[in-house]
Structure 1
């Protein structure tokens, strides 16, 4: 992110008291030291802890068992499952798990006694990623039952005979189908049906057949497999490809569900909308299919002839008899990202990523909602996404929420926003975010009293914003992205004055995503790379108005670009393998390279502030000398709780904002001139 474009006068008009309070260290109610007052010699570096950045019960799964809706948390520490009693609208129990950061999937056995949970993890290792909770005793803690070889558990299904089947991904190998036998407590790999798949997100089990759905949801392109559905015969121990022909071009199978004698199958949409198929369980090669609405189709729940499921904007109904899709009538607040759809008493229970449960009458759309925090769910600090600051506020992105913190009062308000604000900037007092997944650019202005809204949309396959900056010459918001399912990436542009948007696909090449962007004199500098650490990281100088490449250079890092920033005539870049390179822009050549693995490796972010370029990694805040380019540590062991890569940003007063653990911190640093 680049520095917010706000004049000193506008700050005094909008939040002058906030700026002054922050300057003397009073924004969080802490006493100011003598060195913070005007006329005193400042300390080299001052750090002010502003408290937890984003606090909300964040969730990623929901499953109804009897009268209780079990909900798995997301990005909370420790990860947990809560038990929400539907008739009373109260949380009646919870359990904490010993590993993982999120729970994307839950499954119960046929008796309703045992609830299984699989977790997403930060790294591979020996810790368990499968757990079981005895629902007959909610006061008893869930126990670990072992681990599958894939890092992340994405879906679970319990067969009628009690065996548990598991799929996931996140490891260097292609995803396998796994089985847990509760009689022997053994976890076994049943094989890898498609070595070209990058992620498996769907599994459904009968006593005789296990259905395995996978594809290229992450790290698509470059020869990765597309949607694939396999039937595993338990008797012969063989896989048969039964992918509906209409889904073969889609990136992946998104979800599976058994409804009577049918297997409901959905594909993840990208260049086309999602598709729905009703497959005959007795003969999986026969089916009917229909084109759905939107690019997401997940969480099947049946009431009579209708099978309901979620897309990215709400609920959709599929008629089994008519093989037809229709939007479900709905009256109520935005449901955001939906993580659970269940049927109870002729109504639908929807678990919303916004932190509430909605009970919906599918005939009329009438809705009753219960806020989970008010119902007793614990609200804890999340790991976070992007940070932006300016005009007296700091904004921090979480899952389905953006926290707005006033620097004048310290008050924090949570704003619901779909998906995740991966990165953001403040321009003339207004916030602009790049929203994942495929949500485009959203904006919020605290002065007009309106909620955050989408101001520009782009092709849905360009789904993962990675960096946002401001082009002050052309007055454009610039956002660069990764196309998860297709490979490559894009540059988005948005003019806040006119509302005009621009879109340029694969400005680096057809393989490299665009991870970083910086701007100088109307030129956008784009940093390319691959999803992993290796590969070429090309830097492209690009005209964001006319969509033309001006020149390009390979910095020779043998690694993708993690971040870019401009100071004076120099473009600074940090690679994902922990090196810095500096390009003299007028000369168009690299004039400095160095190893900085002591302070940065992997994801990183850069920002220009007070005449120097600052950076943050998962471990350190650092800066570069503007004359020698030497790196210096500003804050060691920052260890921010980031969900998808570290971020740092500044406000018009030169304060830096980043994370230390799960708390937001403000850094006041004075580089030597």
Structure 2
């Protein structure tokens, strides 16, 4: 099959292997010193701190104001905005925000004095999520303005009169339209236009009308709304649905932008490609629409007679007069996930999730790039995704990067990879990852000298691979994936020997998200659930070669399944609500249930190691007695720095790898038997 390669940028963290070894208390090529082996336990447990897992300046937004590109960080602590001065190519300032983990949206007022930022948060509460930075006094910290009632701020627009509008999601209720009035310094809700929407990611405002775009980007299916666009009349205080008919089949509205008297609207693609429409601001029922390329269309920037925007692979040009979309000429490295497109002096500025800014000539495609780390952006430890270990290396997934750590020297190399490696496995020395969003399976073999590459692709709506394991009987990589926008999920398979892939959609049903996979004797055991629907937690025994269900039973005990692992004849399962169940596979029956919420609640991970099933949650590492199934704490209060749920994995020697804070740790545990 065809493979898609991506250029590799290698970055040695902590100043290279020698200095990293010093940080870890290691001499290159030598075993850890006794002082580096923290937390010796009476039962023979040793925990070794390997240092920060993934270090890189990570970003999630970019906005040009004058000659300065302001960039919002992603997945760093503390969250911050940096100021990148384009003419000098240097980072000239920054401000830290008091709350949040990422900044997905930036907006400036008409004067260019005030820069507004909204943050994403981990918990629903009342901590501030809307901030303002006075660019006339950049040495002054950004001010917390308050809290919009939705947990996450996904988009902000500032009307010409200075009023600020914000949208988002992440709370138990449907997303609302929020207004901040600088005159009163109050944040108020203007209402929830669609009670079935799960997330709003787009807002654009004039003084008279505010446009609100939402849909079912997360937790799709199960009756959630599809793409919906509303116009809010500020004087009448009322919403009107103005969604272009052609977008109603798409999961959500992705972006909005006002260019002259037109409202630019894009939809997020799923089973169909994205669409771009130009609506009359005054009469939105009047519009032109075109199908775009790819599943993403965002970050509108007008230049000349065209509007440029990003999809998942690059930059496209939309001609409002011809109503056409075309690829822009481009000569440069992969742009990865794009978080900003701006126009300056006849060229485009593209803010890449890979941590660089590209200045592109829109006619010739000639490109000049600036690495933000080299320009002065601070590189800090990220919260992480999947972990895999084997053949002398540990791999950890971050945003747009996978770190590769040598266990013999301590050297850390950053591999540039699109999206996020949600989970991974090492097989015969090669790494196989499940890449979010919709990137399929990627592979990297450090012995080959070749860059990481995509080896299997799947329908883009099957976008979130959550669990990866190796089926030794069938010699297959197995990946459990969920479909965020459509509901349900799929099982992916990949045969490294023959480079063949398999794909089985909704092997549980159309509602349950596929979150976990484990294997024994050539049978894949699939675990399902749905965060919005309690009571669902089905286990399906599945033949991954024939694509055939063998049997199923309800095992979740009223909660979705978070993780599965097999030890001997038993299948262990952990639910999101802190329940443990154990299935006797030959008998096809649940033989044990218990409450383990004291060590695990929410999304956890399981792995079989040294004849015992181990687990990791956001707070603990634990294991189960193979005879009584009793849970025992291995490491308490580990509080891993996870971006999207805990992970734990092992190497050939039986060492476990997980996170403590934002540091990678190796656990050598010898349970009594």
User: Normalising to structure 2: TM-score of the pair?
Assistant: 0.95
Other structure's SS at 2:246 match: helix
Q: 2:321 matched to which residue of 1? A: 321
Q: Is the 8 A contact 2:43 2:671 kept in 1?
A: no
Q: 2:6 aligns to what?
A: none
Which residue is equivalent to 1:255?
A: 255
User: Residues 20-419 of structure 1: matches in 2 within 5 Å?
Assistant: 32=32, 44-419=44-419
Give the drift of 1:531.
Answer: 2.9
Task: Provide closer, same or farther for how the CA distance between residues 533 and 243 of structure 1 changes in structure 2, counting only shifts above 3 A.
Answer: closer
Q: How does 1:220-619 map to 2 (within 5 A)?
A: 220-532=220-532, 534-619=534-619
The residue that corresponds to 1:647 in the other structure is 647
TM-score (structure 1 length as normaliser): 0.95
CA contact (8 A) 1:213 1:254 kept: yes
- Answer yes or no: is the 8 Å Cα contact 1:69–1:85 preserved in 2: yes
Q: Is the 8 A contact 1:28 1:407 kept in 2?
A: no
**How many angstroms does 1:108 deviate by?**
0.3
Q: Deviations over 1:222-248 (max 9, x none)?
A: 111000000011111111111001001
Find the aligned partners of 2:35 and 2:139 in 1 and give their Cα distance: 52
2:616, 2:622 within 8 Å by CA — same for their partners in 1? yes
- For residues 557 and 428 of structure 2, what CA distance do their matches in structure 1 show? 36
Query: 1:8 maps to which residue?
Result: none
Contact 2:641 2:660 in 1 (8 A): yes
**How much does 1:274 deviate?**
0.1
Alpha-carbon distance in 1 for matches of 2:635, 2:166? 42
Post-superposition Cα deviations, 1:20-61, rounded to whole Å, max 9, x if no partner, equal x9xx99578887567999xxx996100000000000000000
Asked whether the 8 Å contact 2:556–2:575 carries over to 1, the reply is no
Q: Is the 8 A contact 1:268 1:297 kept in 2?
A: yes
Distance 1:60 1:512 in 2: 30
CA contact (8 A) 1:565 1:608 kept: yes
Q: Matches of 2:123 and 2:27 in 1, distance apart?
A: 37
The residue that corresponds to 1:12 in the other structure is none
> Following the alignment from structure 1 to structure 2, what is the Cα–Cα distance between the partners of residues 30 and 97?
41
Sort the Cα spacing of 1:27 and 1:585 in 2 relative to 1 into closer, same or farther, 3 A.
farther
Partner Cα separation in structure 1 for residue 462 and residue 175 of structure 2:
24
- Is the contact made by 1:618 and 1:645 (CA closer than 8 Å) also made in structure 2? yes
SS in 1 for 2:283: coil
Q: Aligned ranges for residues 615-626 of structure 1 at < 5 Å?
A: 615-626=615-626
- Give the Å deviation of 1:137: 1.1
| CA contact 1:316–1:328 (8 Å) conserved in 2 | yes
Residues 326-384 of structure 1: CA distance to partner in whole angstroms, max 9, x if unpaired?
01110000000000000001100000000000000010000000000000000000000
- 1:320 CA displacement: 1.2
1:656 aligns with 2:653: no
SS of 2:374 mapped into structure 1 = helix
- What is the deviation of 1:305? 1.1
* Alignment partners' CA distance in 1, 2:121 and 2:648: 24
Return 356-365 or 523-532, whichever deviates more.
Answer: 523-532
State the 1:126 CA deviation: 1.5
For the residue of structure 1 that corresponds to 2:541, the secondary structure is strand
Q: Contact 1:533 / 1:602 at 8 angstroms: preserved in 2? A: no
Distance (Å, rounded) in 1 between the aligned partners of 2:398 and 2:261: 40
CA change 1:555–1:318 in 2 (3 A) is: same
Q: Distance in 2 between matches of 1:501 and 1:139?
A: 54
Contact 2:36/2:49, CA 8 A, preserved across alignment: no
Structure 2: tracts of 5 or more residues without a match = 1-20
- Aligned mates of 2:432, 2:456 — CA distance in 1: 10
Cα distance between partner residues in 2 of 1:250 and 1:327: 22
Farther off after superposition, 134-143 or 524-533: 524-533
Alpha carbons of structure 1 residues 556 and 404: separation in structure 2 relative to 1, 3 Å: closer
SS in 1 for 2:368: strand
Instruction: Name the SS of the counterpart of 1:381 in structure 2.
Output: coil
Give the Cα–Cα distance (whole angstroms) in 1 for the partners of residues 183 and 263 of structure 2.
27
Q: Secondary structure at the match of 1:373?
A: helix
Distance in 1 of aligned mates of 2:147 and 2:30: 46
Distance in 1 separating the partners of 2:561 and 2:552: 14
CA contact (8 A) 1:35 1:43 kept: no
Shift of 1:553: 1.1
**Contiguous gaps of at least 5 residues in structure 1:** 1-20
For the structure 1 residues 609 and 210, does the alpha-carbon distance in structure 2 shift closer, same or farther, using more than 3 Å as the test? same
Superposed CA deviations along residues 75-119 of structure 1, whole A, max 9, x for unmatched, are 100000000000000000000000000000000000000000000
Quote how far apart the aligned CAs of 1:473 are: 0.4
Q: Which runs of 4+ in 1 moved over 3 A?
A: 24-37
After superposition, the Cα gap between the structure-2 partners of 1:282 and 1:484, relative to the gap in structure 1 and judged at 3 Å, is: same
- Give the conservation status (yes or no) of the 8 Å contact 1:217–1:484: yes
CA contact (8 A) 1:533 1:576 kept: no
Separation in 2, partners of 1:483, 1:28: 44
SS across alignment from 1:374: helix
Query: Structure 2 vs 1, CA of residues 27 and 661 (structure 1 numbering), >3 Å: closer, same or farther?
Result: farther
